[in-house]
Amino acid sequence: MDAFFVSTGIVALAEIGDKTQLLALLLVLRFRQPGPIVLGILVATLANHALAGALGQLVSNVFSDAWLYTLLAVSFIAVAAWTLVPDKLDDDEAPSISRYGAFITTLVAFFVAEMGDKTQIATVVLAAQFDAYFWVVMGTTLGMLLANVPVVFMGNAVAAKLPLDLIRRVASSAFLLMGLYASWLAIQAFQG
């Protein structure tokens, strides 16, 4: 269950202020249908994170423990730095008015927006660290929902009042601590 709770917390924190929150806000302002938007976020995140988790499991099976911990340390520290950079939604990434409706538009937009995003990379790294694919994917998906669903239902009113800089620093610190711990494990594995 550690994999579930760590994955949920890390991704929920990392996702606050992310471009997908802006995307969720744009979608709800456009479609005004929270139900299909939340369902689209859920399905897109499950699909995206299932693929990322599978990649993480593959990586953990290919490398020795020493090299896996080294890779994890570098990845966690890189994501820690990346988390400090505020995210924004580029104009060309904004969802266009779709004839496919709120669910399909959300599904496609969220799946594409998460490709190569820090939470997808975090899912790969977490799945490589924990031998608990299912719990990592469920945790990272729940983390995404915890960060994005309130935006769908409350809009910009609450999001504008969150201390995004502080939240980014806390998330970055969590990734950094995991990176330092993985570094320590790598040193132990190389010595042993």
Please tell me the predicted confidence (pLDDT) of residue 157.
60
Alpha helices in 63-162 (DSSP H): 65-83, 101-114, 118-129, 133-154, 156-159
Number of domains in the chain: 1
∠ CA(137), CA(143), CA(149), 5° rounding? 125
Quick one: which of 181, 188, 187, 189 has its CA closest to 73? Answer: 181
Per-residue pLDDT of the chain (192 residues; tens, 9 = 90+): 899 999 999 999 888 878 788 788 888 877 888 999 999 999 999 999 999 999 999 988 898 888 888 987 888 788 778 777 765 555 455 445 556 789 999 999 899 888 878 889 899 999 998 989 999 999 999 999 999 999 898 875 655 566 767 777 887 888 788 789 889 988 999 997
Residues spanned by the domain of 35: 2-191
Quote the CA–CA distance of 81 and 166 in Å, as a whole number.
Answer: 14
